[in-house]
Structures are given as C-alpha cells and as structure tokens.
Amino acid sequence: MIKILQSGNPVLRKICRPIKPEEIKSAKIKKIIKVMRETLEETPDGVALAAPQIGHNLRIFVVSPKAFQPQGRALETVFINPTLVKRSNKKKIFEEGCLSVSGVYGKIKRSEKVTVEAFDEKGRRFFRGGSGLLAEIYQHEINHLDGVLFTDTATELGTITRKDNKL
C-alpha cells in the first residue's frame, strides 16, 4: 500500500502542475490514477485523495463513491485540472479532517455549494456541482493542489473527535 504523505512533507506545500491534454491518456498518468484509486479504496476513513498526498505534484484528485448520494457509482470519480467555476456566497462551517493530518479535525468555513470544471480520464471536459460534503471535498482537494492544508485556516483544531470522511 502506498503511504499517504503527512503534514510537514514539502511535497504537500508545492503548487501542482496541470496535466497537458496529450498527457491525460499516457501510461504515466493512468498509473498514477490507478494508484490513487487503490490507495483510497484501502483507506476506509477516506472519501477523497489528491495526487500530492501520494507524492505527485499534479493537478488530479479522486472522490470515493461513498461521497455521492445516492451511492450508485462503482468507481472513484477522477478530476483532472479541476477549477472552481462557481461558489455560493453562502458559507457553512464544516467539521473537517484530512488524510495528511492524521487524527486532527477542525472547523473551517467554506462555500456551501460549488461547481467544478475538470477533465475525466478520457480527456473529456465536464462540470459537476455539489453541496454539503461534496462542496467541502472539492474545495479541500483544490486547496491540496495549491499547497494549502485545511489546518492553515481551520479553528478549534483537535477538539473534535471523529474518525470518518477524511479528505
């Protein structure tokens, strides 16, 4: 099993680079996506994973089928070169945890609803909207791609006891 990098590792602080269109279907990117999927599947308390968390400074994240309602999807959804194209002015306080900041949860204010534009593994552009947990995931994962950890702005760190939905 691939190790998930922990806070303090400089890889988590770099700005990740976009994937070139002709690179999306390359063996190298396919392999990285495969490993990301496997790593997330082997991490029962995780619902999403960004490429830098397993050591690649590339703009990719994957979301577990567990995060989608209703749960019908068999595979993780892959987001390549994701951007937030819309975010609600309305904010919500999320109780958040991160696979790269083991055991620590905190409170963080994020938009309640967002829309992401991204490319799938076949290089097709798509848009996906989400609220609640999904909105939280999209904002948290894009933060990872910009070298930002939730602990940079979260409050009440370590005061919340939870074991689920790490991002």
Three-state DSSP at 80 gives: strand
Q: Which of 16, 62, 67, 98 binds Zn ion (CB under 5 A)?
A: 98
Minimum CB–partner distance for residue 160 and Zn ion (Å): 15
Region binding Zn ion by CB under 5 A among candidate stretches 36-44, 61-69, 80-88, 93-101? 93-101
The candidate with the shortest Cα–Cα distance to 79, out of 26, 43, 36, 15, is 36
Establish whether 141 is a catalytic residue: yes
DSSP result, 15-79: PPBPPPGGGTTSHHHHHHHHHHHHHHHT-TTBSEEEGGGGT--BSEEEE-GGGSSS---SSPEEE
Region binding Zn ion by CB under 5 A among candidate stretches 74-82, 92-100, 110-118, 131-139? 92-100
The candidate with the shortest Cα–Cα distance to 3, out of 106, 102, 144, is 102
Minimum CB–partner distance for residue 145 and Zn ion (Å): 11
Q: How many binding residues for Zn ion (CB under 5 A)? A: 2
Check 76, 96, 136, 141 and give the catalytic one.
141
Residue nearest to Zn ion (CB): 98
Region binding Zn ion by CB under 5 A among candidate stretches 24-32, 58-66, 88-96, 97-105? 97-105
